[in-house]
Amino acid sequence: MVNFLQGGDPILTLLNKYKQLENGISFIIFIGLVILPATDLLIREIIRPIIPTLSKIPGSQTIVSHLTLIIGFAGAIIAARENKLLALTTIPLFGSDELKGLGKYIAKWVSICVILILAIGSLDLVLIEKSVLYPVFVAPNVPRWFFQAAMPIGFFLIGGHLISKSKESIFSLTGLLTLFFIILLIVSQDILRETAFILFLGMILFVLAVANGMPIFLVLGGIASLLFWYDYTPVSAIAAEAYRIVVSPHLATIPLFTLAGYILAESDASDRLVKVFRVLFGWLPGGTPVVILLLCGFFTALTGGSGVTILALGGLLLPLMIKEGYSRNFSLGLITATGSIGLLFPPSLPLILYGVTAGISIKDIFIAGIVPGFFLILMVSIWSVWQGKVQSVKRHTFNWLKAFQICWATKWELLIPFLVLYGIFGGHAKLVETASLTVIYIFIIETFVYKDLALKDSVKIITSCATLVGGVLLIIGVAMGLTSYLVDAQIPMLLLSWVKMVVSSKYLFLILLNVFLLIVGCLMDIFSAIIIVVPLIAPLGIHFGIDPIHLAIIFIANLELGFLTPPVGMNLFLSAYRFDEKMPAIYKSTFPFFLVLLVAVLFITYIPQLTLGLIR
C-alpha cells in the first residue's frame, strides 16, 4: 500500500507534464495562427513596395486554415479535460456528483460510444487520404493527411479525458466499452438498417442524453452518425465535412477575434470603457443601462458569444447597476438581455459563419447589420431611460473637461472599432488579416501601453480562449456533417415543396419563420443553428422573394431573442449560473426585455429598409 502511494507522485507529475504539453501545443498553434496572416499583410503592404522581389510565405493562407483545424481539436481536448465542453446544461456530465439517475448513465454511455465512432470514422478518412496515389499537399512537402490526423487523435484524446473523469468504477467502464462493441456488432447487421424503429429509438436516446448534459457536438455527431449508418453511408463522411468547413478561408477569424475579446476581458479595459460611457451618457435618466448596452455590444461583437460577455462582465456590471440605484430585478434582466446584443455588429462571428454557410458576402452582411444592431440598442435604451425615471435614479452631471480627459486616457481602446472597420472595409487587408492585426494591436496596448497584463499571462489567456474556440469549432464541424446528410437526403427541397403547398403569403411565411427561429434559438447554440438551419431556410427565402442579406439579419436577430426565450434560452441558464439565481427569478427579470426586443425583431423582419438601406 505504501509503495502504491509513493508511486502516485511520479504518476501525478507525469499527468501534470501532459497537461502542460496540451496547453503548450495550443499556445504555439495559436501564436502561429496570429503571426502568419499578420506577416502576409506586412510583406504585401509595407515591405514589398520597398523590396519588390520579396514574396509572401508559401502556402500561408492554406496553412492558416489548417491551423484552425488543429486549434479546434487542441482546444476541445483541453475543454474535455476541464469539463468545459459546451452543453445545454450548466452541470457537466462527466466528473460531477450532482447528476443522478439512469439518464446520467445513458448520457455517458451514448457520449463515449459516439466519440469512439467519430474517432474511428475520422481515422478511416485519414487512412484513405494517406493511401491515394497522388496526395494533396497543403504546404511544400506537407500532405493534407498530416493535418487531418488531428481529427482521430483529437477524438481519441477527448474520449480518454471523458472516460478518466467518470466517477463510476472500472466495472461500469468495462460495461460501457462492452456496450460500445455490442453497438458496433448491431450496426454492422444490414437488416437493422431497414428498421425505422432503430432510428426512432436512437433519436429518443439522444434527446434523453442531451437533457442530461451530453456535449452538443456529440449530440450532433451522434445523430449524423445514426442517419449516415441508416443510409448506408460511411461515418467518415462526417469527418470529411467537418474538415471541409473548418478549413474554409474565413473560419480562422473565429479563433482570432475571440482571442482579441479574451485579451480585453482579462485586462482592465472594461473598467476604462465603463468610465468612458458613463461620462458620455451618465447624464441621461437611464444612463448607466445605456452604458451597459454599449459595453456589452462591444464585447459581444468581438467575442461572438453572449456567454463570454455575461460570464466575464457580469461581476462588474451587476454591482454597478445596484450601486447606481437600480433594482436587482431590473439589473439582472438588463445584463441577461444585453449579453447577445452585439451579434449584429462587425466583426460578429455568427455573421461571418452565416456568410460562409450561405455563400454570401460577409462585408454586405456586416454593413446590413449596423442599423438593425443600433435599432435594438435604441429600443432597449428607451425602455431603460423610462425605467430610470420610474425608479428615480440619480443622474450624473455632464462635464466636458472630464469627458475629454477620460476619453483621451482610453483613446487606444476607443480606436479598436475603427481599426476593425478600416481593416474590413478599407480594402487593404483580408478578413483573417484584420482579425490577426486586431489581436496584435490589443495585445500590445494591454500589455505594454496600459500594462494590465504581463507576458506570463499570455499562456493562461490563450489556453482559456482555445477551450472555448475548440468547443465551438467542434460543434461547427460535426454540425456540417449533419447538414450534409440533410442536403443529400434533399430535405431542403422537400421542405420547400411542403411550404409552397401550405403557405402562399410572404408575410405568413415570415411570421412562421419568426416562431421557428425563436424555438431554434431557445434549443440550440447559435453556431450549430447556423450550420444546420440556414441550408433549410435559404431556398424558402428565395422562393418568397426575401433578400438573402435581409434573411441573414432576420436569422441572427431572432436567434438573439431565442437566447432569452423561456424555458431553456441559453442566456437564461448562463445568467442563473453566473449570479446564483433561481430560474423563475431570471424569467421574471428578463420578460420585459424579451417583449421590447420582440417588438424590435418584428420591425427588423417586416421593414427590410432597416437592413438594406446602407447596401442598396
H helical segments located in 339-456: 349-358, 362-390, 400-409, 411-414, 416-425, 431-444
Report the pLDDT value the prediction gives residue 5, as an integer from 0 to 100.
Answer: 41
Task: Give 5-46 pLDDT, tens digit per residue.
Answer: 444 567 777 878 888 899 999 999 999 999 999 998 888 888
- What count of other Cβ atoms lies within 10 Å of the Cβ of residue 444? 12
Burial class (CB in 10 A: 0-12, 13-18, 19+), 105: middle
Instruction: Give the rounded percent of residues in the chain with a pLDDT score beyond 70.
Output: 89
Longest Cα–Cα distance of the chain, Å, equals: 80
Tell me how far apart the alpha carbons of residues 416 and 422 are, in angstroms, rounded to a whole number: 10
Inter-residue contact 579 to 535 (CB < 8 Å): no
Judged by average pLDDT, the poorest of 150-154, 181-185, 407-411 is 181-185
Indicate the pairing of strand 137-139 with strand 142-143: antiparallel
DSSP 14-38: HHHHHHHHHHHHHHHHHHHHHHHHH
Q: What are phi and psi of 139, to 5 degrees?
A: -140, 170
142 grid coordinates = 506537407
Tell me how far apart the alpha carbons of residues 346 and 355 are, in angstroms, rounded to a whole number: 13
Judged by average pLDDT, the poorest of 15-19, 504-508, 610-614 is 15-19
Tell me how far apart the alpha carbons of residues 518 and 511 are, in angstroms, rounded to a whole number: 11
Report the pLDDT value the prediction gives residue 342, as an integer from 0 to 100.
Answer: 82
Q: How confident is the model at residue 549 (pLDDT cuts 50, 70, 90)?
A: very high
Beta bridge partners of 139: 142
Q: Which of 510, 522, 593 is nearest to 550 (CA)?
A: 510
Report the pLDDT value the prediction gives residue 127, as an integer from 0 to 100.
Answer: 93
Name the pTM for this structure.
0.83
Report the pLDDT value the prediction gives residue 253, as an integer from 0 to 100.
Answer: 87
DSSP 148-175: HTHHHHHHHHHHHHHHHH--S-HHHHHH
Q: Which residue shows C-alpha cell 503548450?
A: 24
Domain boundary assignment for the chain: 58-246, 269-472+490-612
Tell me how far apart the alpha carbons of residues 303 and 310 are, in angstroms, rounded to a whole number: 11
> Containing H/E element for 129?
helix 102-131
Task: Give 360-391 pLDDT, tens digit per residue.
Answer: 988 899 999 999 999 998 999 898 888 877 77
Tell me how far apart the alpha carbons of residues 602 and 606 are, in angstroms, rounded to a whole number: 6
Tell me how far apart the alpha carbons of residues 303 and 419 are, in angstroms, rounded to a whole number: 16
- What count of other Cβ atoms lies within 10 Å of the Cβ of residue 170? 8
Report the pLDDT value the prediction gives residue 307, as an integer from 0 to 100.
Answer: 63
Q: Which residue shows C-alpha cell 443601462?
A: 289
Beta bridge partners of 401: none
Residue type, 172: S
Burial class (CB in 10 A: 0-12, 13-18, 19+), 188: exposed
Q: Which of 533, 411, 528 is nearest to 479 (CA)?
A: 528
90 grid coordinates = 450548466
Q: Please determine, for residue 304, whether its predicted confidence score (pLDDT) is greater than 70.
A: no
DSSP reduced 3-state for 480 = helix
How many residues are listed for the chain in this entry? 616
Distance of CA 596 to the CA centre of its chain: 25
Q: Please determine, for residue 489, whether its predicted confidence score (pLDDT) is greater than 60.
A: yes
Q: Please determine, for residue 59, whether its predicted confidence score (pLDDT) is greater than 60.
A: yes
DSSP 226-293: HHHHHTT--THHHHHHHHHHHTSTTTTHHHHHHHHHHHHHHTTHHHHHHHHHHHHHTTSTTHHHHHHH
- What count of other Cβ atoms lies within 10 Å of the Cβ of residue 153? 18
Cα–Cα–Cα angle for 461, 463, 465, nearest 5°?
Answer: 70
Rounded to a whole number of angstroms, the distance between the first and last alpha carbons of the chain is 77
Q: Please determine, for residue 169, whether its predicted confidence score (pLDDT) is greater than 60.
A: no
Q: Which residue shows C-alpha cell 454599449?
A: 294
Tell me how far apart the alpha carbons of residues 209 and 232 are, in angstroms, rounded to a whole number: 25
Q: Please determine, for residue 490, whether its predicted confidence score (pLDDT) is greater than 60.
A: yes
Tell me how far apart the alpha carbons of residues 504 and 397 are, in angstroms, rounded to a whole number: 56
Task: Give 92-109 pLDDT, tens digit per residue.
Answer: 788 766 556 777 888 888
Task: Give 424-437 pLDDT, tens digit per residue.
Answer: 888 788 889 999 99
589 grid coordinates = 427579470
| Omega before residue 347 within 30° of 0, cis | yes
Report the pLDDT value the prediction gives residue 4, as an integer from 0 to 100.
Answer: 40
- What count of other Cβ atoms lies within 10 Å of the Cβ of residue 497? 11
249 grid coordinates = 478561408
| Omega before residue 319 within 30° of 0, cis | no
Tell me how far apart the alpha carbons of residues 348 and 469 are, in angstroms, rounded to a whole number: 14
Tell me how far apart the alpha carbons of residues 271 and 289 are, in angstroms, rounded to a whole number: 15
Q: Which residue shows C-alpha cell 502504491?
A: 4
Tell me how far apart the alpha carbons of residues 286 and 390 are, in angstroms, rounded to a whole number: 10
Tell me how far apart the alpha carbons of residues 115 and 129 are, in angstroms, rounded to a whole number: 21
Task: Give 266-296 pLDDT, tens digit per residue.
Answer: 888 888 888 888 888 777 776 778 888 888 8
Task: Give 172-210 pLDDT, tens digit per residue.
Answer: 655 666 666 666 555 555 556 666 777 888 888 888 888
Mean pLDDT of the chain: 84
Task: Give 580-605 pLDDT, tens digit per residue.
Answer: 788 788 888 999 999 999 999 999 99
